[in-house]
Amino acid sequence: MGIISHYFRINPKLQNPAVLFLLFFLVCPASDSFAQMLNLDPIPWSVPADSTSSQAFIIEVARFEETTFDWAADRLQLTLILPAGLKGTYFLRMPHITFDKGDIPLFSRWPGVQGEAVVDTFWTENRVSSFGQIEAGANSWVDWPLVGRIHYGGAIGLPVGSDRLYPISSVSFPLRGEIRKDLELVPGVHLALSAGSLYNLDSGSDLLDPQAFPNGQRWGAALSLYGGPNRRIVLDYDQQNREGRRSTLVGLQGWLPWSDDGSWGLRVDRQLGGSIDSCATWRVALSWRFDNARHRPGYEEPDPELSLEK
């Protein structure tokens, strides 16, 4: 617990954001399906105890491993975070992926996702390298009577990229909406509970069947320990159900500063109960974050008169 040395509160004078990018919470019926689970990264929340900036640039290098079927993928992902008014943020993700399927092509593992018009090489190709799907989104918060502050956010996947990267990425049109409640257990220790829904339009191509893109719900929890600017440890639990396909993911991540305005983080995720429906058993990611100090919570501009006196 020695890492918890400082608790940072967001300025209470922050006002409502000027623009709401996306907010929805859909309830999708669950039913049996041949669909699998397209990989979707968590929404990058801004939380009260965190002192990272609302304007940042993140470089992530990730490795996906599927031990049962000998699948692996390497991903370089760039994330841009921008202020959305005074209390929200926009984000934009841009990945490049190299996907190695070993000796087991996609339709050999999951015949149910096969589309009507399949290119012959799609059956036999074992290595694909391409830009993945670009994703945009936003998050903010609102104070409600009785329940207090609720964070909400959404993300939309743009129909660009390649279906040959499925299920790491695709050209589908996923829409997500989530809400999150952050609870302070003790100073510097927070528990966040979240829930959300996914509505996934198919890619419109003939390579993959529409059932390759199921709708669904997710719920999760995150225990966070904050130790000052750019210092945090987070334990995640994530449960998903997409039309009968299930995923239970646990993750551990840690962040440390490498400069006054930068930090690096290491994240490890493990799929529990196997990965019959998901893309990987393990994921390891190393990230570098570059923050704009002027957009940190509580930042105050230097007084020019004091500077002149010095």
Which pLDDT does position 94 carry in this prediction? Answer: 96
Residue 304 phi, psi dihedral angles, 5° rounding: -60, -30
Cα 45 from Cα 61, distance rounded (Å): 20
- Residue range 229-236: average pLDDT? 89
* 281 has pLDDT over 70: yes
Query: Higher model confidence: residue 108 or residue 157?
Result: 157
Between 68 and 310, residue with greater pLDDT: 68
Residue 3: the pLDDT is: 34
Is the pLDDT score of 59 beyond 90? yes
Half-sphere exposure of residue 309, counting CA atoms within 13 Å on the CB side? 5
Residue 193 has pLDDT above 80, yes or no: yes
User: How far, rounded to the nearest angstrom, does the alpha carbon of residue 278 sit from its chain's CA centroid?
Assistant: 16
Determine phi and psi for 211, rounding to 5 degrees.
-70, -5
Q: What is the mean pLDDT of the chain?
A: 80
- C-alpha distance from residue 119 to each of 71, 204, 207 (Å): 21, 15, 7
Assign 21 a pLDDT band (cuts: 50, 70, 90).
very low
Average pLDDT over residues 130-143: 94
pLDDT of residue 64: 94
For the residues 241-253, what does the mean pLDDT come to? Answer: 89
Per-residue DSSP letters for 211-255? GGS--EEEEEEEEEEE-STT-EEEEEEEEEEETTEEEEEEEEEEE
Q: Model pTM?
A: 0.81
Q: For 143-172, what is the mean pLDDT?
A: 90
The full set of domains in the chain, from first to last, is: 56-297 (2.40.160.40)
Query: What SS3 state is found at 260?
Result: coil
